[in-house]
Structure 1
Amino acid sequence: MSNTDHLTALKDKIQAVEDGSIVAITMPVNIYLQEAEDMARCARIDIAELATINVTEVQIDDLQARIGACREVQSLWVEDQHKANQAEDLWADIQVQANELKSELIHTFRYAYRKDEHLMSAIADIAEGSTNSDTIQDLNDLSVLGKGNTDALTAINFDLTKLDTAADIAVNGADALAVANGSRQRGSDTKVLRDKAYTYLKESVDDIRAAGKFLFRNEPKKLKGYTSKYWKKRNQSVKKESDVESEI
């Protein structure tokens, strides 16, 4: 089965993991997945011995399926993160242009319409908003207001094409912001699924690792297959730092 198939087959069980049961990810997921793959390979080789303490081939197959599912959803999360970053970069570019044009239009309109109490009140209302959504709506409102009252703008030689630009940015900005918000939400949902898949995988990894460490406690070569190289290296590094500090 492919990793996609494994995720499809296990998705309901993964989603059933309670939010409160999600474990913290304390090492890079790609390293964890590779260590799990390596351990599963060792377990298949050692299956006859593991069977003596009730570790079955079905459990090894299940471990492999959980690895595949977690690897697939990790890839989906990375992809969503990439898409979200792209969408946010696009919105960031538009946002700068939008804020600058909004500021320019409000500044210009306040001068051009300074003698019109009604228009000045409308401009004041538009100027109040400061959120991204406000900016998008404000540009459209300013475009409509300006196009409906061009005489005062023409009198001060204002470039009326900027009103069309404001309307265009409002449309493009709304689309970009929607994509960015949607990408962030999808990324958040996928991350939760990834974290649950990791938790579901860790349950199986911990069981088989514990069995291997118990069974091969007196066989260093086989024991290596059930020991995390990542944490062994990290622990050695911490010990060296501690030894250096104690010598100071």
Structure 2
Amino acid sequence: MSKENYDTKLSLLESLPQKDVKAPTTPVDTTLQEAENLFVWAQEDKIILESKGLDWETYTEDLPVRVGACRYAQAVWMKERYSQEEALKTWREESPKAYEFRNDLLADLRFAFRKRSDLLARVRAIADGEGDADMIQDLMDISVLGKANTPELEKVKYDLSNFDIAGQKSDHLAELLAKANGATLDNSKAKDVRDRAFTHLKEALDEIRDTGKYAFRKDPERYKGYISRYKRR
């Protein structure tokens, strides 16, 4: 059902002005449960809440749909975030080895091409630069250069399979770094939609709670149902 609610709301969520979209300031799972509790609590007070101006259909009847959409958006975001965090962890484990492998390959090429000034110039060009993206590109450039100049490498009995490994590592690391960057930049589409779904849910929560707190300001037994237990702690 949450997926259906999400699909129903997606176009509306995407149309929300960016300036109105706010990241959650309370735990999402807690907010979702409080919204479900509020929906049940408010049923008894429908006539009174409507008499105070609450748009029952827009906010109260729609509350379960907003809850479902937010619940699904949160699940999608958490799944992506977990994947990104795993990628970041893997990158931190693999990248030092990749740098070492790149440096070893450059040393191998310098030795194999030591009598070829033209090829040494290309090795120097590859070695020039720094950073993760540069290292990834270096591996691919080394793979191409090595495969194109096998006679010199065969003279020193070099294992040419290293160039296949370099190319494969370059592709793998490029994909891994892209995923890992998602965890550090924190700007994914999934997070944006989650924030929009939370904003949409909070709009209804605020309307119902504000109306309920006003309507029952002199009735503690009904008033308490319109207060966030999380914020009271």
Assess same fold via TM > 0.5.
yes
Task: Report the AA paired with residue 27 of structure 2.
Answer: P
Equivalent position amino acid for 1:132 in 2: D
Q: Deviations over 1:26-48 (max 9, x none)?
A: 21111112112111110013223
What aligned pairs does 1:109-148 form with structure 2 within 5 A after superposition? 109-148=109-148
- Cα pair distance change 1:200/1:41, threshold 3 Å: same
Amino acid at match of 1:107: A
Task: Report the CA distance shift for 1:183/1:25 in structure 2 as closer, same or farther (over 3 A).
Answer: closer
Q: Does 2:48 align with 1:46?
A: no
Match of 1:36 in 2: 35
Output the CA distance in 2 between the equivalents of 1:182 and 1:81. Answer: 8
Change (3 A) 1:55 1:143: closer
- What is the CA-CA distance between 1:147 and the residue it aligns to? 3.5
Could you tell me which amino acid in structure 1 is paired with residue 7 of structure 2?
T
Higher RCO (CA-CA < 8 Å; seq separation 6+): 2
| Cα distance in 2 between the residues matched to 1:157 and 1:78 | 50
Q: For structure 1, which segment, 198-207 or 171-180, has the greater mean C-alpha deviation from structure 2 after superposition?
A: 171-180
Q: Which residue of 2 aligns with 1:198?
A: 198
| 1:18 maps to amino acid | P
Q: Per-residue displacement from partner, 1:44-98 (whole Å, max 9, x unpaired)?
A: 1322332332335423111222122111111111111122223334444443332
1:83: which partner in 2?
83
Q: What is the CA-CA distance between 1:228 and the residue it aligns to?
A: 1.0
Aligned length: 232
Look up the match of 2:7: 8
Does structure 1 retain, via aligned residues, the 8 Å contact 2:39–2:60? yes
Query: For residues 124 and 65 of structure 2, what CA distance do their matches in structure 1 show?
Result: 61
Question: Structure 1: which 5+ residue stretches go unaligned?
Answer: 234-248
How many Å separate the matches in 1 of 2:41 and 2:115?
84
- Say if 2:3 and 2:69, in contact at 8 Å, map to a contact too: yes
Q: Alignment identity in percent? A: 34
Task: Quote how far apart the aligned CAs of 1:117 are.
Answer: 1.4
Moved more, 151-160 or 210-219: 151-160
Q: Give the alignment of 1:1-248 within 5 angstroms.
A: 2-55=1-54, 57-58=56-57, 59-154=59-154, 156=156, 158-177=158-177, 188-233=188-233
Q: Partners in 2 of 1:159 and 1:23 — Cα distance?
A: 56
Higher mean C-alpha deviation, range 17-26 or range 179-188: 179-188
Deviation string 1:174-202 (CA, Å, 9 cap, x unpaired) is: 44445556888997111111111111111
Where 2:16 maps in the other structure, the secondary structure is coil
Instruction: Tell whether the 8 Å contact from 2:182 to 2:188 is kept in structure 1 after alignment.
Output: no
Q: Tell me which moved more, 115-124 or 41-50.
A: 41-50
- Indicate the SS of the match to 1:115: coil
Q: Distance in 2 between matches of 1:23 and 1:144?
A: 48
Q: Contact 2:112 / 2:153 at 8 angstroms: preserved in 1?
A: yes
Gaps spanning 5+ residues in structure 2: where?
Answer: none
